[in-house]
Amino acid sequence: MNEMHIPQTQFAELTWRGDPLKLEYQWVGVKQSDYPVVVFLHEGLGSIALWKDFPERMCRAYGLTGLVFSRYGYGQSTPRPHDERWQMTFMHEQAREVLPALFASLGLERPWLFGHSDGGSIALLYAASFPHAVDGIVVVAPHILVEDVTIENITQAREAYVSSDFAVKLKRYHADPESAFWGWNNVWLDPAFRAWNIEGLLPDIVCPVLAIQGAGDEYGTLAQVQGIVRKVPQAHLTVMPDCGHSPHREQPERVAQLAGDFITRAHRLA
């Protein structure tokens, strides 16, 4: 593996819906690559910091350049005002409005997307909305519909947040834990969100797709990734035994191998 280095944090300054927006980002992996940039999209409580060194290690191992950033409301990016409630279209907005603006500001064209959980859903939405603007996607524990098990565990997360030191722990990864937690938790537990479903958009995806999910995922059943394979004929599925909702943290070497091999092979065959 190539020598590791410490990525430097920078900020992209965007205007979104008339308001200024600052998104923290880091370049990881090799400086120059024969492959498209891989953009890492974090989960509902994630950020640059919560990825830790997984993107750097994966990209270094496969000769890739990676971009890691914290979405609006997360990490060191612009926090969500505490009185702002996200709508059930929040992931659609990230995919169709914020990602294109970020990519344009950084001069990115046809990247790969590597998304975990909500980030996986955003990757799917981007690939469906802009079929020819992405080289391929890797989605890890993505959501395509809302299940009872998802709501049950997000409800438990809310109970833990208000009754324990959960907020203190989140402070390690977010400048404003309230922004990160309640933005995510309130929208997922809104009764209207039970109708959220992106299955009908999936057939618009034409790029290569690798879907990965742990067999013991506490936030979704295998219906999530099996639904992707039904709707996207070119999708490949890997179910990881003895693994929960965060395969890249639980089995990082295996996930890096799966994703790295898939990205480099697909690019060579293109």
Tens digits of per-residue pLDDT, 39-57? 999 999 999 999 999 999 9
Q: How confident is the model at residue 3 (pLDDT cuts 50, 70, 90)?
A: low
Of 39, 45, 146, the residue nearest 95 (C-alpha): 39
Count of residues in the chain: 270
Report the share of the chain in percent with pLDDT over 90. Answer: 95
Give the dihedral of Cα atoms 110, 112, 116, 121; nearest 10 deg: 40
- Per-residue pLDDT, averaged over 126-134, amounts to 97
| Structural domains in the chain, sorted by start | 9-269 (3.40.50.1820)
Tokens at residue 265, please?
Answer: 């092979």
Predicted confidence (pLDDT) at residue 233 exceeds the cutoff of 80: yes
Under the banding of pLDDT at 50, 70 and 90, the label for residue 231 is very high
Give 139's strand partners.
115, 211
- State the Cα–Cα distance between residues 154 and 268, nearest whole angstrom: 40
Burial of 55 (0-12, 13-18, 19+ CB in 10 A): buried
With 50 as the cut, is the pLDDT of residue 31 above it? Answer: yes
For residue 123, give the H/E element and its range. Answer: helix 118-129
Mind listing the pLDDT tens digit for each residue in 169-195?
A: 999 999 999 999 999 999 999 999 999
Distinct helix (H) and strand (E) counts, the chain: 11, 8
Nearest by Cα to 140 from 162, 166, 117: 117
Instruction: Using pLDDT thresholds of 50, 70 and 90, give the confidence band for residue 1.
Output: very low
For residue 104, the Cα-to-chain-centroid distance in whole angstroms is: 19
Q: What is the dihedral of CA 205, 234, 203, 211, to 10 degrees?
A: -80
Higher pLDDT, 4 or 138: 138
| Section 10-19 average pLDDT | 94
Lookup: tokens for 178? 């309230």
Considering just the CA atoms, what is the radius of gyration of the chain in Å? Answer: 17
Tens of pLDDT, residues 60-89: 999 999 999 999 999 999 999 999 999 999
